[in-house]
Structures are given as structure tokens and as C-alpha cells.
């Protein structure tokens, strides 16, 4: 396992649409192990491969609370099959946009399908933080950032703040 650098806005690679994984193999599993280590180190609860510069439809997540044992989840080629009409606001943040948080309204429940780390097809429903996080990470696979849901003014302020902090070598 290895720590990878997390891309920060306005890196243009964050806007790329990721390609599907053709085969779940050792290379894919190594990528996911590196992603998980990078996410834990950041620290965060979700990471898409594009955030470390790999344009593949791969996501890792761990929603375990502090003090609970880790519960890593692996998603290869995740896809939303259904979204509820009911929405809920949630304050989101992103490892590619450090120290910036804002409310995003998303469907409160989703049904998704994906391949796990063994290449097994899974279909399940998600709600609450799980639904928010998986939608956020799938957005990354589609070149969409949570700040894209905000007003142009808020989005521009967030990018400027991250760029400024990055130049100064400090958190945003």
C-alpha cells in the first residue's frame, strides 16, 4: 500500500469523466488499497480514483465513526439505478477541496449497483450518510464536484481559497 497525492481544485483532471474498469484484478485491488490508505490518512470518509489522478470508476468509503472498527467498502463501476424524489440537505466537504463545507441537496435514498473488490455484482439501497457519500463519489467519477451544486459566487470563492492556501502551503 502507498499514500497517493490528492488532487486539489482547480486541477483539470478532477473534471474528467472516469472510464469503467474492464476487469477486477490485483492491479485494481492495489489501487483500492492505496486509495483507502490515502483516504484514512487525509482523513476522509470517501475517495474516488480520479481524486488521485486515476480516471477509473473506482471508489472507496468507510463511514465508521471515530472509535469504531474500520468498515471499508469498495465500489467498482458504481451506478445509481434509482433515486428517491424526496431530497435532504447535507453539509458536504471534499478531500479535493479541503476545509470548504456547504449544504448540498441530494436524493435521500438511492438504489445502486456495483462490483465489490472480488468482482461480485452487488445491488443495494442506501440512505442517510451512505446515500450522500455514494452520490458525492459517483459525481467525482462523472467529473462533478460538490461545489458545482453551489452558486457561481460560492464556487469561485471556494476555488480561490483552496488555491491561495495551496500557494501558502497551508490548509484552506
In angstroms, the CA 25 to CA 39 distance is: 21
Q: Look-up: residue for cell 484552506?
A: 172
137 assigned to active site? yes
Give which of 89, 83, 31 is closest to 56, Cα–Cα: 31
Name the grid cell of 172: 484552506
- Catalytic pick from 71, 105, 124, 137? 137
Spatial contact of 52 and 5, defined as CB atoms under 8 Å apart: yes
Containing H/E element for 81? Answer: strand 73-83
Active-site residue numbers? 137
Amino acid at each position: 500500500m502507498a499514500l497517493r497525492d490528492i488532487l486539489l481544485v482547480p486541477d483539470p483532471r478532477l473534471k474528467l469523466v472516469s472510464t469503467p474498469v474492464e476487469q477486477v484484478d490485483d492491479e485494481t485491488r492495489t489501487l483500492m488499497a492505496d486509495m483507502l490508505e490515502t483516504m484514512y490518512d487525509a482523513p476522509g470518509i470517501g475517495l474516488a480514483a480520479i481524486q488521485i489522478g486515476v480516471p477509473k470508476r473506482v471508489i472507496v468509503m468507510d463511514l465508521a465513526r471515530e472509535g469504531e472498527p474500520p468498515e471499508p467498502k469498495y465500489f467498482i463501476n458504481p451506478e445509481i439505478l434509482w433515486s428517491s424524489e424526496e431530497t435532504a440537505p447535507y453539509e458536504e466537504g471534499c478531500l479535493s477541496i479541503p476545509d470548504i463545507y456547504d449544504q448540498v441537496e441530494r436524493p435521500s435514498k438511492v438504489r445502486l449497483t456495483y462490483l465489490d473488490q472480488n468482482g461480485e455484482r452487488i445491488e443495494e439501497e442506501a440512505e442517510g450518510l451512505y446515500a450522500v457519500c455514494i452520490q458525492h463519489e459517483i459525481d467525482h467519477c462523472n467529473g462533478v464536484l460538490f461545489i458545482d451544486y453551489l452558486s457561481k459566487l460560492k464556487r469561485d470563492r471556494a476555488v480561490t481559497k483552496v488555491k491561495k492556501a495551496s500557494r501558502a502551503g497551508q490548509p484552506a
